A and B are shown apart, each in its own frame.
Chain A
Amino acid sequence: MDIMSLVNKDFIKARLKEGKRIDGRGFDDVRDLEITTGLIGTAEGSALVRLGNTRILVGVKLAVDKPFPDTPDEGILITNAELRPAASPTFEQGPPNPEAIEFARVVDRGIREGQTIDLKKLCIAEGEKVWVVFLDIHVLDYDGNLFDAGNYGAVSALLTAKVPEHEGRESFDMPVLHTPVSCTFAKIDSSLLLDPGLEEEGVADARLTIVFDEEKNLRAMQKGLDGSFKRDEIKELMDRASRKSEEIRKIIDQKVKL
């Protein structure tokens, strides 16, 4: 854990009681969000996301393989996340730990259940050959709220990805159906904060990630940490996420289309 959060815990909490966040943001304010796509030529799609001082590079690679027996006419999505030691003094060398695996799975769920990719269009020969989409999330600089940055990066990389040509079939744009957008809140005492920064994460009792599609349907959720939420808090966060996800989707659309 970040030791500065421990030291400053009482002040952060006292400030929240006055309705103020430590960096001056409102409870529903997202930090500055920058997205740059297409920086990595070896990837079929890529996006560099900066959310405050958190920086994540997402790459999309495609490969041809056999489909799973229960989905013979669908492509395959595989999501992986790496919390490399370059990104934080607390990240260690080694295979993905439970935090990295949870992170990858929550991003994966948003993309998969949000039907971001039209997997049926990634079938080459039913039962024999399909495209495998590898979605690799690489954290470069960790300053809190990986889940949302990972989601924005994954969506942006997929929206700009190309399926390469294969045995005479021409290259085509990644078939995207929906753009699910993630909103993560930290609960500190009774305050519920969108897009928690590193120090806020360090003090948080509980965390809730909510992923909405553009029709305001829920596509994925994840509660984390050892605290708890009341039912009306969950309801409140649902409303707030539904509103904010629309705003954030507009930002993503704008950045990706440029």
Chain B
Amino acid sequence: MNVIPGEPVGKSAELKAGSGTYEDGDSIYSALVGFKEVRSSYVNVVPIKSVYIPREGDQVIGIVTDIDQSLWVVDVRAPAPSVLHSNDTPWKVDFGDTGSFLTIGDAVLARIKSYDDIGRIQLTMSDRNSRKISSGYVIEIMTTKVAKVIGKEGAMVNAIKKFTGCRIFIGQNGRVWIDGESDGVSKAIMAINKVEKEDVNVEDVEKLLG
């Protein structure tokens, strides 16, 4: 069932207010345009569209927008810029030498280290999957369509990978990195845009690319 802000989604006596909802008096209301869902004892509203809200541990694709002596400012499409400190990278970065590792406009695969109560976001690249992106193409999709592009157990993205020969990485923040032969990359971009915006299943995509 789809709901809009201010619509009742449950009673406080029966359910707990989950994400996308708020409690007022003895009722729970939706705060978003989306779909109501009840999971265990929580009622949530899954939004149709949303800004990216960072969660600790999320894998994201960030873009460097500023450099300081010992840190980088990185855009992750969140409500605030994030900070990547030189200690949180796999590199040994001397003070003031940040620019020789990452510069403005560089994209990185990184993880959300923290998102605190006053809206500050910290990133880390100290894990095996994190790295600088130095080839291919990055596109943006709606954050609420990330799961659809990945597909059930990765079925959708795997089909696109198979038919285009590309490596594809989908960040939780709705940025998608596609790398490979340029014709394949172009095909993958087209396919991902289609999956994001249209009602298509894995077979449709295979037909489109096959």
Contact = CB atoms under 8 A, between A and B. Distances in A.
A and B touch in the complex (CB under 8 A): yes
Interface of A: 3-4, 6-11, 14-15, 18, 20, 22, 24
A6 B106 CA distance: 8
3 A-B pairs with least C-beta separation:
A6-B105, A11-B137, A7-B107
A3 B136 CA distance: 15
Contacts of A14: 182
Please report whether the interface of chain A is mostly helix, strand, loop or mixed according to DSSP.
Answer: helix
B114 interface: no
A3 B75 contact: yes
Contacts of A4: 63, 138-140
A223 B190 CA distance: 33
B63 A20 contact: no
Given A4-B139, A6-B105, A11-B135, 13 more contacts: A3-B63, A3-B75, A7-B63, A7-B106, A8-B137, A8-B138, A9-B105, A11-B137, A11-B182, A15-B182, A18-B182, A20-B182, A22-B186
A7 B138 contact: yes
B185 interface: yes
Nearest to B134: A10
A11 B75 CA distance: 20
Contact of A3 (B65, B137, B139, B190): B65
B105 A7 contact: yes
A11 B105 contact: no
Contacts of B136: 11
Size range of the chain B interface in the assembly: 10 to 19
B104 interface: yes
A15 B107 CA distance: 19
Given A8-B138, A10-B135, A3 B186 contact: no
Residue of B63, B105, B133, B139 with most partner-chain A CB within 10 A: B105
Residue of A7, A11, A15, A24 with most partner-chain B CB within 10 A: A7
A9 B106 CA distance: 10
Contacts of B75: 3
B40 to A, nearest CB: 38
A14 B136 CA distance: 10
A11 B106 CA distance: 13
B186 A20 contact: yes
A8 B186 CA distance: 13
A11 B185 CA distance: 10
Contacts of B186: 15, 20, 22, 24
A215 B185 CA distance: 43
Given A11-B182, A11-B185, A24-B186, A3 B135 contact: no
Contacts of A10: 135
Nearest to A14: B182
A5 B55 CA distance: 27
A18 B182 CA distance: 9
A131 to B, nearest CB: 46
A7 B140 CA distance: 12
Interface in B59-112: 63, 65, 75, 104-107
Contacts of B140: 4
Contacts of B65: 3
19 contacts: A3-B63, A3-B65, A3-B75, A4-B63, A4-B139, A6-B63, A6-B105, A7-B63, A7-B107, A7-B138, A11-B135, A11-B136, A11-B185, A15-B182, A15-B186, A20-B182, A20-B186, A22-B186, A24-B190
Residue of A11, A14, A15 with most partner-chain B CB within 10 A: A11
A155 to B, nearest CB: 32
